[in-house]
């Protein structure tokens, strides 16, 4: 488990906007390791964990996009039934709410990356550390 820097970018929900953002990030060698896009119109949040948050923020600034940065839990869990339940149960037992979650896994990989936005990050870090 690590603490990761997440960017939440407010992006127009129309054809080509995500492609433009992803292409500009790639142009400066920023890799997206986890991504969550919500079906909200006309503008919605895109949450992402990237390899270089500072460079990603500069890209967003150039594109005129609003960006909020925050720390989140980035947890690698086994790709097997019950793995997420075990982690979230530990948090719940300490009164820590999971406010949102998203994940990423490559087919055939033995571990998934789960990103959790929680109500009390320092406490969650102690529980899962």
3.30.2130.10, 3.40.50.720, 3.20.20.70, 3.20.20.370: CATH of 2-68:
3.30.2130.10
Q: Confirm if 104 and 38 have CB atoms less than 8 A apart.
A: no
Q: Is the pLDDT of residue 20 over 80?
A: yes
With a pLDDT cut of 90, the percent of the chain lying above it is: 80
Q: Is the pLDDT of residue 108 over 80?
A: no
More confident residue, 39 or 92: 92
pLDDT tens digit sequence for 39-70 = 899 999 999 999 999 999 999 999 999 999 99
Could you tell me which residues come within 8 angstroms of residue 61 by beta carbon, excluding any fewer than 6 positions away? 67
Q: Is the pLDDT of residue 107 over 80?
A: no
Q: How many whole angstroms from its chain centre is CA 84?
A: 16
| Residue 25 pLDDT grade (very low, low, confident, very high; cuts 50, 70, 90) | very high
Helix/strand/coil for 24: helix
3.40.190.10, 3.30.460.80, 3.40.50.150, 3.30.2130.10: CATH of 71-128:
3.30.2130.10
Q: Confirm if 79 and 105 have CB atoms less than 8 A apart.
A: yes
Cis before 26? omega within 30: no
Q: Looking up tokens 């060698």, which residue turns up?
A: 29
């Amino acid at each position: 488990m690590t603490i990761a820097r997440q960017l939440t970018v407010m992006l127009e929900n129309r054809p080509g906007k995500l492609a433009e953002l992803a292409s500009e990030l790639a142009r400066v060698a920023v890799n997206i390791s986890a991504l969550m896009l919500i079906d909200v119109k006309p503008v919605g949040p895109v949450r992402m964990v990237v390899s270089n948050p500072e460079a990603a923020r500069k890209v967003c600034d150039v594109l005129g996009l609003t960006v909020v940065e925050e720390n989140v839990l980035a947890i690698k869990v086994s790709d097997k039934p019950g793995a997420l339940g075990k982690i979230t149960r530990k948090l719940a037992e300490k009164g820590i709410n999971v406010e949102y979650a998203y994940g990423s896994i490559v087919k055939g990989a033995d571990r998934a990356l789960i990103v959790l936005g929680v109500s009390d990050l320092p406490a969650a870090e102690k529980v899962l550390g």
